[in-house]
Structure formats: structure tokens, C-alpha cells
Amino acid sequence: MKEQEQKWLTWASRLLMDYATGTSVQYREGMKVLWEAMNVLYHNRKEPDMNPPVHLQDVTCIRETEKALLVEYEGEEFWVPQSVIHADSEVYQKDTEGTLVVARWWAESRSLVEKE
């Protein structure tokens, strides 16, 4: 369990105990808050990533538009949709160089990596 989830659960259980010692109305309100907290945890959970992103080394961004980057990788130039670029990517705008991190399905569709 992640540290943040543990903090939420600890907070929720303390809150519930505080409400449990009060009136039934307070107890019901506490249960509502606890239910909402558990719902948030459930919906924000991360499933194991069965398709980890692809890291392409030594990439240079040549041009940038609102929807895509024109990059150079291994002597070839091609457009990369902004929507497939991972948040951890070092290449994310014009004149950036380094590791381009993209969605695996996209890299496979462009034959940049072999399909798993």
C-alpha cells in the first residue's frame, strides 16, 4: 500500500472513531465521509502497467506544434503526437534533447520497438 493511501486510511479510521463516540447523526455523517474517502482511493488506484512506456535515447525535437513534435531519432525524422508522450519524457518541446518516453502501442505501431 502506498504511503498516501495509508495516510488516507489512518485519517478515515480516526474520523470514524471520533464520529462513533458521538450521536447517530454524527456517526452517519462519519460513514459518508469514510465511504467517499474509500471511493476516491478505489478510483485513483493504479493497476499494474502491462504496457510500460518506451524510452527512446538520443532524440532531438526539431519542431513543435500544438498536437505533435517533429523529432529526429536514429537519423530519421518523424512526427510524435503530444498525446502519446509520457510525463517523464526529457523531449517535450522544441530544442529539447534526450530520452523521449512514449506509449508502447504507438512505438510498436511505428516499428520503433518490437511487439511484445
Number of Cβ atoms within 10 Å of the Cβ of 85: 21
* pTM score above 0.75: no
pLDDT in tens, 16-56: 666 566 665 566 666 666 667 666 666 665 555 568 899 99
Sheet holding 54-64, edge to edge: 76-81, 68-73, 54-64, 97-102
Parse the chain into domains and list their residue ranges. Answer: 3-43, 54-109
Q: Where are the alpha helices (DSSP H) in the chain?
A: 3-20, 24-43, 104-109
Q: Record the cell numbers describing residue 28, joined without a space.
A: 452517519
**Euclidean distance between CA atoms 14 and 18, whole angstroms:** 6
- For residue 16, count CB atoms less than 10 angstroms from its CB and return exposed for 0-12, middle for 13-18, buried for 19 or more: middle
